[in-house]
Amino acid sequence: MAERSVLMKNVQHPFLVGLHYSFQTTDKLYFVLDYVNGGEVGVQPEGTGSVLSGPLFYHLQRERVFLEPRARFYAAEIASALGYLHSLHIVYRDLKPENILLDSQGHIVLTDFGLCKEGLEPNGTTSTFCGTPERLTLQGVCDALVSQYLAPEVLQKQAYDRTVDWWCLGSVLYEMLYGLPPFYSRNTAEMYNNILHKAPVLKPNVSNAGRELLEGLLQKDRCSRLGANDDFLELKYHSFFSPINWDDLMDKKVAPPFVPSVSGPTDLRHFDPEFTHLPVSASLCSDSAPVTGSVREAAGAFPGFSYGPPSDHAFM
């Protein structure tokens, strides 16, 4: 229900995945979302296998690093999306490469709002971090890969605010520019120690403005972190983003530095056949599961979940 609530609010932003319908059957909940087929922004450290492969992940994995203009473009679109969520008092909390998609034209689309925190005022903090047990335990390969983007205060289960999103953006931008997350180690305990206690290594192959931005975003003290006072505006007017015309960016008038190799908006090539070849076993047409008392009870557990757009905005 929290994810549905966020999806209902973000329909006005060009770099957030949009909701077309939500509905429920006797035993399942469904979201009908934008189809985003350009790939996922990200990279896999050597030796991690294919646990988290996918779209900006896929492109960065092939190229190892992005040149600064390309990384700046992606970071600007991500920052504008996060700033919009913050303006609605929503903290995203789950920025990581596999949640950063590219559409068929090469623009960023953020997805997966299951860990969002609503109702957090600009000066407010929270210490809760709702999610699946797997996300909370921070154990195993998947969790180690995910947790390397989390801010120190979250790892320490301390109070945090919307600046957790700017820390995560700093981690993702660092990865785009340098090829690995800023505190990566194959040893999970060492990686956590790096996040909590080590300064990021800022090599000189990135501009002074880029290194300054990363240093500001990756401040371990959230009160000293870039964005702690004026949120998105502190990033928007940072010298690193001086080449960006923000109005044109929002109107998608800035040409993406990379256009995915897709034949059109329905191309499937960036999706693993493991998924595209799955049968549609949960289709409403073939949903013949017996309706038991427990199923009827479950069907009433999510009142108000279903949504359909106005008739003049019907999904085609």
Question: What digits encode the pLDDT tens for the residues 281-299?
Answer: 766 655 555 656 665 666 6
Residue 283's identity, in one-letter code, is S
pTM of the model: 0.85
What band does 17 get if pLDDT is binned at 50, 70 and 90? very high
Q: Is the pLDDT of residue 212 over 90?
A: yes
What band does 43 get if pLDDT is binned at 50, 70 and 90? very low
Q: What is the pLDDT of residues 161-206, one digit of tens each?
A: 999 999 999 999 999 999 999 999 888 889 999 999 999 999 999 9
Q: Is the pLDDT of residue 270 over 80?
A: no
The reported pLDDT for the residue numbered 146 is: 60
The reported pLDDT for the residue numbered 152 is: 93
Q: Is the pLDDT of residue 145 over 80?
A: no
The reported pLDDT for the residue numbered 155 is: 87
What band does 311 get if pLDDT is binned at 50, 70 and 90? low
Q: Where are the domains of the chain?
A: 1-34+291-316, 40-278
Q: Is the pLDDT of residue 24 over 70?
A: yes
The reported pLDDT for the residue numbered 291 is: 59
Q: Is the pLDDT of residue 14 over 60?
A: yes
Minimum mean pLDDT among 124-128, 133-137, 214-218: which range? 133-137
Q: Is the pLDDT of residue 40 over 60?
A: no
Half-sphere exposure of residue 73: CA atoms within 13 angstroms, side-chain side: 20
The reported pLDDT for the residue numbered 83 is: 96
Half-sphere exposure of residue 42: CA atoms within 13 angstroms, side-chain side: 23
Q: Judging by DSSP bridges, how do beta strands 39-40 and 108-110 pair with one another?
A: unpaired
What band does 2 get if pLDDT is binned at 50, 70 and 90? confident
Task: Write the DSSP string, 142-191.
Answer: HHHHHHTTS-HHHHTT--B-THHHHHHHHHHHHHHHHSS-TT--SSHHHH
* Rounded mean pLDDT, 134-151: 56
Q: What distance in Å separates the CA atoms of residue 41 and residue 56, rounded to the nearest whole number?
A: 2
What band does 123 get if pLDDT is binned at 50, 70 and 90? confident
Q: Is the pLDDT of residue 160 over 50?
A: yes
Q: Judging by DSSP bridges, how do beta strands 108-110 and 100-102 pair with one another?
A: antiparallel
Q: Is the pLDDT of residue 45 over 60?
A: no
Q: Which helix (H) or strand (E) holds 141?
A: helix 140-147
CATH architecture entry for 40-278: Orthogonal Bundle (1.10)
Q: Is the pLDDT of residue 233 over 90?
A: yes
Q: Is the pLDDT of residue 135 over 70?
A: no
Query: Residues with catalytic annotation?
Result: 94
Q: How far is CA 1 from the centre of its chain?
A: 19
Percent of the chain beyond pLDDT 70?
80
Measured from the Cβ of residue 267, the count of other Cβ atoms closer than 10 Å reads: 15
Contact of 168 with 98, CB cutoff 8 Å: no
* Rounded mean pLDDT, 53-57: 56
